[in-house]
Amino acid sequence: MALLEVKDLKMYYKVRRGDVKAVDGVSFEIEKGEAMGLAGESGCGKSSMATTLLRLLPNNGRILDGSIKFDGKEILDLPEEQFRQDYRWQRMSIIFQGAMNALNPVHRIGKQISEAIITHENVSKNEAKKRAEELLEMVGINSERYRNYPHEFSGGMKQRAVIAMALACNPDLIIADEPTTALDVMVQAQVLEAIQSLRKKMGLSMLLISHDLSVIAQTCDKVAIMYAGRIVEYGPSTKVYNNPLHPYSYGLLSSFPDIMAPRSPIQSIPGSPPNLLEPPSGCRFSPRCPLADSKCFTDEPELMAIDGKNHLVACHKAGALGKVGEQS
């Protein structure tokens, strides 16, 4: 049984002009100890997916349909009180996008971590402090820096402190929303390493959100590519990275340079992501797709196995993809 099983999940934001269909029929699974990446352009619904899983939605966000099972239990049916007590932070926690900038500037780092522990667990101040120090060491920060303020930390250290905070209650699943985006490449590598070794040590499952597919390929067992509120490709990261089947994934991959490959111009995907108030009919990528024909504009493709049973793609043209490569 998967640790997290998401099926046909829909979450819309109500705005004056209608519904923003940010998560629109999404299904995936994360096994115990497994890391899944979620990639896609800005605004495709990645953070919305994350906040939906933790039921931390703004007032105008509504879950319309679908199921989220955690360890076999449907969490959408639980009363908020029970979800907060037994699941949020305890079993699944999140590193919010931009979280390192949300550290409270007037409180000591260590204190912020131990407060997080005290809020959720029935422990003494001293025990919480000891655990916070251990957590700092675990993410590679000397516990003597417990008494530092956020401004005394570098960006990478702040980000690691935020990771420590998300681990405060020993969760089974951690959702990391762009945990390295604001960092330079060297520090990004250090933070990713810290996450990897923690995962191994603690047997953590992870959902890693990033617009950068190379970060996901380095870190995750499998990946879901999201476009306009839907998953368009899903499979083992090496398969998706080496043999993308959806024209959008292909474009997304070619928009990141590979330092090992011969130099070639960076490709970008023409056009811009659709408005999620009124997504295009048929395949949502069709207006930007070099392969689209009339069927693509009218019929929405299902996510289906093409290249082995664990590599799924939602594209009427998935078989013809070699041609995209030849064109570029």
Ligand X SMILES: Nc1ncnc2c1ncn2[C@@H]1O[C@H](COP(=O)(O)OP(=O)(O)OP(=O)(O)O)[C@@H](O)[C@H]1O
Taking the complex as a whole, the smallest distance from the CB of residue 23 to ligand X amounts, in Å, to 8
Taking the complex as a whole, the smallest distance from the CB of residue 27 to Mg ion amounts, in Å, to 20
Does 45 bind ligand X (CB under 6 A)? Our answer is: yes
Does 42 bind ligand X (CB under 6 A)? Our answer is: yes
Per CB under 6 A, the list member of 211, 311, 316, 317 interacting with ligand X is 211
Q: Which C-beta is closer to ligand X: that of 22 or that of 30?
A: 22
Taking the complex as a whole, the smallest distance from the CB of residue 145 to ligand X amounts, in Å, to 30
Which residue lies nearest Mg ion, judged by its C-beta? 47
Instruction: Write each residue from 105 to 144 as x if it is in contact with ligand X (CB under 6 A), else as -, in one continuous string.
Output: ----------------------------------------
Does 58 bind ligand X (CB under 6 A)? Our answer is: yes
Query: Taking contact as CB under 6 A, which single stretch among the options 39-47, 84-92, 297-305, 308-316 is the one that binds ligand X?
Result: 39-47
Per CB under 6 A, the list member of 231, 276, 291, 318 interacting with ligand X is 276
Per CB under 6 A, the list member of 52, 93, 97, 205 interacting with ligand X is 97
Does 13 bind ligand X (CB under 6 A)? Our answer is: yes
Positions in 48-107 near Mg ion (CB under 5 A): 97
Cα-atom radius of gyration of the chain, to the nearest Å?
21
List the single partner that 20 binds among ligand X, Mg ion, none, CB under 5 to 8 Å by kind: ligand X
Does 52 bind ligand X (CB under 6 A)? Our answer is: no
Beta partners for residue 95, in sequence order: 176
Q: How many residues bind ligand X (CB under 6 A)?
A: 17
Query: Taking contact as CB under 6 A, which single stretch among the options 27-35, 42-50, 186-194, 255-263 is the one that binds ligand X?
Result: 42-50
Contact status, residue 15 vs residue 62, Cβ threshold 8 Å? no
The site for ligand X (CB under 6 A) is made up of 13, 15, 20, 22, 40, 42-48, 58, 60, 97, 211, 276
